[in-house]
Every structure is written in C-alpha cells, then in structure tokens.
Amino acid sequence: MTRHLDIGCGDKPRNPYGCDELFGIDQSESFANGTIRACQLGLESFPYPDNYFDSVSAYDLLEHIPRQAYDYAGNRIRFPFVEVMQEIWRVLKSDGKFFALTPAYPAKQAFQDPTHVNIITDDTHSYFCGGNPLARRYGFTGRFEPNQVKPVMPEEIYGDTSLKLHWRKFRYLYFKGGLSHLSWELVAKK
C-alpha cells in the first residue's frame, strides 16, 4: 500500500505517482475532511508521523512560503521555507520522492503574483541536496538527491503532455521567459 501527500492542495489533492492512498494538507480549514488536514505550512509541523509517505508533491506552493520570519514569542529568526523542506523530508520514507512545480527566475511569473515571497532559481534545490546540504546552517537536517530538475511550461505538467520541444525552441523559450516554471523531483536519503 503506497501513500502520497499533496501539500497546499486546496480541495483537490494531486497524485502524480499514482499511489494507493492520497492525503492532502492545506492552510484553509474549509478543505479539511478525512484525507485533507489543515496545517499552517512553515509555522506548524505536518500532522503525520516520520517516514509515512512514499511521495510528496507541491504544485505552485513553494513560492508562497517565506524564506525568513521573525518569531516574536521565541525572539528569533525562523526559516519557514527550510522548515517546510525539513517536514517534507521527515514524512518521506527512505528513497521517497518529492515533486514540486513552481514558477522560477527569470520568468515574470515568479514575480507577478504579490503573494510570491520566495523566488526559486534553478539552483535553489541544491541547498537541500548532497552529502552536506548548505541548508544545514539554517537548521535543515535531512538530505535529498536530485532525480530531475528542469525548466518546464506548466501546460506540460497540468495536462498537455503532447508538448515536446525541439532543443532550439526549448532554449529560445527558456531565455525569453516562456518556460516559466521549474519542476523538481528529489529523492529523500535517510
């Protein structure tokens, strides 16, 4: 029996790996039901045990998670984005997969929504990968290995998979901002 968690799911969690059981997390209490739980991402721990999921996904979510926040009660700076990545790693089983789709620099889509507070680049994932991830200095204790990180048109992910690009068109679109999103597939190493 395989389990998948879609974070920031709204009322319709996605299941990109076709797992047997599907769960979701969203900040809105209005979506909470038997399989979707409310959670303030970056402020609260995910309401699931360690090593529970075979895969986790985040569609158009990471850009909404702040990089820094001041915790007045604790009188310290917190790193909500790092904490979300820690929680993703924590709930994944060993070799579990994390899939993310996010608008990324230099595309205008990374900046145009006023709620985008975390601009992702094609190297952001590297802070959470490798033998000694750079995010350790911010409290990250996990480790991922990149399976695939690539610029994409969101249409490829959201349904129109017939879009196959010749490499010249791919380069043109990337540098002109047409490939507005990055997709990550990271593997949890434990």
* Domains contained in the chain, CATH given: 3-188 (3.40.50.150)
Q: What is the pLDDT along the chain (190 residues), one digit of tens a residue?
A: 999 999 999 999 999 999 999 999 999 888 888 899 999 999 999 999 999 999 999 999 999 999 999 999 999 999 999 999 999 999 999 999 999 999 999 888 889 899 999 999 999 999 999 999 999 999 999 999 999 999 887 655 555 444 444 444 444 455 455 568 899 999 999 9
Q: Which amino acid is at 124?
A: T
Cα→Cα distances 134→2, 137, 186, Å: 31, 6, 16
Please state the φ and ψ torsions of residue 153, each to the nearest 5 degrees: -90, 135
- Beta partners for residue 23, in sequence order: 5
CA distance 46 to 44: 6
Token duo for residue 177: 């901002």
No. of helices (H) and no. of strands (E), the chain: 4, 9
SS3 content of the chain, % helix, strand, coil (to 5): 25, 30, 45
Residue 157: predicted pLDDT: 56
DSSP run (H or E) holding 174: helix 167-176
- Distance (Å, rounded) from C-alpha 190 to C-alpha 186? 13
Q: What is the pTM of this model?
A: 0.88
Q: How far apart are CA 101 and CA 78, in angstroms?
A: 24
pLDDT (0 to 100) of residue 160: 43
Token pair in block for residue 67: 């990089």
